[in-house]
Chains A and B, each alone.
Chain A
Amino acid sequence: MSMLVQISNLTKRYITTTALSNVTLEVPEGHIMGLLGPNGSGKTTLMKIVAGLVSPTSGSVLVDEMTPGVGTKARVSFLPDVNHLDRWMSVGEAGDFYADFYLDFDQKRFEELLAIMRLTAGQKIGSLSRGMVEKVRLSLVFSRRARLYVLDEPFGGLDPLARSQVLDALVANFRSDSSMMLSTQMVAEVERFFDDVVFLDNGRVILAGDAEDLRTQRGTSIEDIYREVYGHVEAR
Chain B
Amino acid sequence: MEFDERAPIYRQIMDLIKRRIAVGELKVGQQLPSVRDLGQQVVVNPNTVQKAYLELEREGYVATQRGMGTFVSGDRGTVDVLRQGLARDIVATYVTGMRSLGYGPEEITTMAAETARKETK
Q: Do A and B come from one complex?
A: yes
Chain A residues packing against B (C-beta within 8 Å) = 30-32, 164, 167-168, 171-172, 174, 176, 188, 191-195, 212, 215-216, 219-224
- CB 8 Å contact bits of B45-82 with A (1 = contact, 0 = none): 11110010000000000000000000000000000000
Q: With A171-B39, A171-B40, A172-B40 known to touch, is A215 a contact of B8 (CB < 8 Å)?
A: yes
Collect the chain B residues with CB atoms within 8 Å of residue A224's CB.
6
Asked if A215 contacts B43 (CB within 8 A), the reply is: no
Q: With A192-B48, A212-B48, A212-B51 known to touch, is A221 a contact of B43 (CB < 8 Å)?
A: no
Asked if A195 contacts B6 (CB within 8 A), the reply is: no
Name the residue on B nearest A212 (C-beta): B8
Asked if B5 contacts A215 (CB within 8 A), the reply is: yes
Name the residue on B nearest A195 (C-beta): B47
Beyond A32-B45, A193-B45, 12 additional contacts (C-beta under 8 Å) are: A31-B47, A168-B43, A171-B43, A188-B5, A192-B5, A192-B9, A192-B48, A212-B10, A212-B48, A215-B6, A215-B7, A215-B8
Name the residue on B nearest A213 (C-beta): B8
Residues in B22-47 with C-beta less than 8 Å from chain A: 39-40, 43-47
Asked if A194 contacts B45 (CB within 8 A), the reply is: yes
Residues in B5-19 with C-beta less than 8 Å from chain A: 5-10
Collect the chain B residues with CB atoms within 8 Å of residue A191's CB.
5
For the complex, what is the distance from the CA of A216 to the CA of B39, rounded to whole Å? 21
Q: With A171-B39, A212-B10, A212-B51 known to touch, is A222 a contact of B5 (CB < 8 Å)?
A: yes
B3: CB under 8 A from chain A? yes
CB distance from A111 to the nearest CB of B (A): 19
CB distance from B64 to the nearest CB of A (A): 16
For the complex, what is the distance from the CA of A172 to the CA of B6, rounded to whole Å? 25
For the complex, what is the distance from the CA of A175 to the CA of B7, rounded to whole Å? 26
